[in-house]
Chains A and B, each alone.
Chain A
Amino acid sequence: MNIYRQELRMLTPSAIYWSLGMLVCLLLFMLIYPPVAADVQGLEAVLANFPLEMRKALGLSSLNLARVLEFYAFVFLYILLIGAVFAMKSSLAVLSEEARSKTTDFLLSKPVSRFVIVTAKWGAVLTALLLQSILLILFSYMIVRIYGSFSSSLFLLITLSLIQMQLFFSALGLFLAALVRRMRSVLPLALGIVFGFFLVQIINQSVGERALGYITPFAYFDPATIVQHGAYNPTLVIINLSVSAVLVIAGYMAYHKKDFAAQ
């Protein structure tokens, strides 16, 4: 419990900054919503003639940016990007920080099992992510509400995809941190991996290549698709949960057997 509390305390400032970053991003995009909506309405008629293939390639397949919630869904892709980096980074950091600050022997010689250590550390990350989502739901609801009315349940579906995607990235972070012997820098690694998955989604968005969609969580929770169907794709939600679970279990096992360098 002490480990949990300590980690949570250390995570708090960055969790606050990153949540603020998401909200600022949303706020700034919402500022250009009214003029964009006006523009789009005039073009909607033209767009209808567009072959579907082409619209897909341009990422315009389903979103009507004149509607406030669909504009929100468009912006939410970027919020997901920020959230994913935060989840990955926090998860990588909590488990690799001891090696960097040379405190591994201090922690591991305490009368707690490694299992408890990982649980406490990763639990702290999950807590931070959960609080972040709650914060985001509250504030973004208020922000978007200013610009028009929308279906609250769809709003929740879109916004709740954040925590599910973060679950994947924090699980991946846990796994990598447990696996790699010495991790020198966390943020560059997190950025590289998350942007990699993001770009795979950009490619996937238009190829319509199913197989590619299975390898990136950005496709599991594509806001445009959620708006289109008004629901998650149950298969993809289950895939996300199971892949995350496998990563977490593998992470626990790797950490359990990890050979730590003495300092």
Chain B
Amino acid sequence: MNIVIRELKANLKPLLIWCGSMVFLIYGGMIKYSGIAGAGQEARKLFDQFPGAFKQVLGLGELDITTAAGFYALFYIYFLVLAGVHAVMLGTVIISKEERDKTADFIFVKPVPRHQIVTAKLAAVLTNLLVLNLTTLLASVVFVNMYNQGASISSKIALLMVFLFIIQLLFAALGALVAAASKTSKRAASISTLILFSTFLLSAAIDLYPKIDFLKFFTPFKYFSAAEIITRGSYQPWMLVLSLLLIGIFVYLTYRMVERRDLVV
């Protein structure tokens, strides 16, 4: 428990900054929406005339971005990116920092088994992710309602946040695994960054050229389509299974590797 509290305290300030940026991003995004909504009816008419393939290219699918719901879905990817950066770095740093700060011999000689230390650290990560997620939820509901003239979409936003949380967990677990498997903290951070960039760029490439859609299994940014969730409230169940499975595997491997790690002191 002491370790959990220690970690929560250590991460408090960065967490507040992350939450602040998230609120700012959502606020900025919704201001942008008010501009589009202003463009109004005729834009929507034009929009409806577009062939399906064309909308697909724009990454819109069946979204109507003149509604608050459609617009929010379009913007969802950027919440994913921001939360993803936060989660992957948090997971990486929290596992690898003891060796970096030369405090490994301090913490690992305490009468606590290694797996318990990992559990405590992961619990702290979970709390941090949850706080960021709830902040996003709250800010989204407030700001969307401020500009939304149609039916309330709060329940849909809540559903999107559930998926956001799963992606956060996935990135955090990935970061923790990278940290547990890497020799040094520096290398761990670089590898995590590399993974983050590659998945982000891959999702951009898929948007640009939908025919490489089969590659989406490699980028969590594409696991859940906000458009589908917003318009139909449905998602692809196997993607949910895949993410949960990956989270389980990453966490399991993290425990195993930390347990067997040859600590540098």
Query: Within the assembled complex, what's the spacing in Å between the Cα atoms of A196 and B17?
Result: 11
Do residues B28 and A203 form an inter-chain contact, with CB atoms below 8 A?
yes
Do residues B51 and A46 form an inter-chain contact, with CB atoms below 8 A?
yes
Q: Would A78 and B78 be within 8 Å (CB), given that A53-B43, A188-B189 are in contact?
A: no
Query: Within the assembled complex, what's the spacing in Å between the Cα atoms of A196 and B194?
Result: 18
Cβ of B120 within 8 Å of any chain A Cβ, yes or no, is no
Query: Within the assembled complex, what's the spacing in Å between the Cα atoms of A184 and B89?
Result: 13
Do residues A82 and B65 form an inter-chain contact, with CB atoms below 8 A?
no
Number of A-B contacts (CB under 8 A): 112
Q: Would A187 and B89 be within 8 Å (CB), given that A50-B46, A57-B65 are in contact?
A: yes
Query: Within the assembled complex, what's the spacing in Å between the Cα atoms of A192 and B194?
Result: 14
Contact of A207 among B32, B78, B185, B211 (CB under 8 A): B32
Q: Looking across the interface, which residue of chain B has its beta carbon closest to that of A59?
A: B58
Interface flags for B199-225 (1: CB within 8 Å of A; 0: not) read 001001100110110000000000000
> Within 8 Å CB of A144, what residues of B?
none
Do residues B201 and A207 form an inter-chain contact, with CB atoms below 8 A?
no
Cβ of A208 within 8 Å of any chain B Cβ, yes or no, is yes
Do residues A195 and B28 form an inter-chain contact, with CB atoms below 8 A?
no
Interface size class of B (residues with CB under 8 A): 35 or more
Interface size class of A (residues with CB under 8 A): 35 or more
Cβ of B61 within 8 Å of any chain A Cβ, yes or no, is no
Do residues B39 and A54 form an inter-chain contact, with CB atoms below 8 A?
yes
Q: Would A25 and B201 be within 8 Å (CB), given that A32-B208, A53-B36, A206-B32 are in contact?
A: yes
Q: Which parts of A131-187 form the interface with B (CB within 8 Å)? A: 184-187
Taking the closest CB of chain A, its distance from the CB of B64, in whole angstroms, is: 12
Cβ of B131 within 8 Å of any chain A Cβ, yes or no, is no
Cβ of B54 within 8 Å of any chain A Cβ, yes or no, is yes
Q: Looking across the interface, which residue of chain B has its beta carbon closest to that of A195?
A: B85
> Within 8 Å CB of B197, what residues of A?
21, 25, 82
Cβ of A250 within 8 Å of any chain B Cβ, yes or no, is no
Question: Chain B: interface secondary structure?
Answer: helix
Contact of B190 among A25, A187, A203 (CB under 8 A): A187
Q: Looking across the interface, which residue of chain B has its beta carbon closest to that of A34?
A: B209
Interface flags for B27-40 (1: CB within 8 Å of A; 0: not) read 01101100110010
Do residues A32 and B39 form an inter-chain contact, with CB atoms below 8 A?
no
Query: Within the assembled complex, what's the spacing in Å between the Cα atoms of A54 and B71?
Result: 12
Cβ of A111 within 8 Å of any chain B Cβ, yes or no, is no
Cβ of B258 within 8 Å of any chain A Cβ, yes or no, is no
Do residues B35 and A58 form an inter-chain contact, with CB atoms below 8 A?
no
Do residues A43 and B204 form an inter-chain contact, with CB atoms below 8 A?
no
Cβ of B249 within 8 Å of any chain A Cβ, yes or no, is no
> Within 8 Å CB of B81, what residues of A?
195, 199
Contact of B57 among A39, A49, A50, A192 (CB under 8 A): A39
Taking the closest CB of chain A, its distance from the CB of B130, in whole angstroms, is: 19
Do residues A51 and B42 form an inter-chain contact, with CB atoms below 8 A?
yes
Do residues B54 and A43 form an inter-chain contact, with CB atoms below 8 A?
yes
Query: Within the assembled complex, what's the spacing in Å between the Cα atoms of A43 and B208?
Result: 13
> Within 8 Å CB of B194, what residues of A?
21
Enumerate the 9 nearest inter-chain pairs by beta-carbon distance, A residue then B residue, closest first: A188-B89, A187-B189, A203-B28, A53-B39, A32-B209, A207-B32, A36-B209, A51-B43, A191-B85
- What are 14 residue pairs bridging A and B, where the CB atoms are less than 8 Å apart in the complex? A21-B194, A25-B201, A32-B205, A39-B57, A43-B54, A57-B65, A82-B197, A185-B93, A187-B189, A188-B14, A191-B85, A199-B78, A199-B81, A207-B32
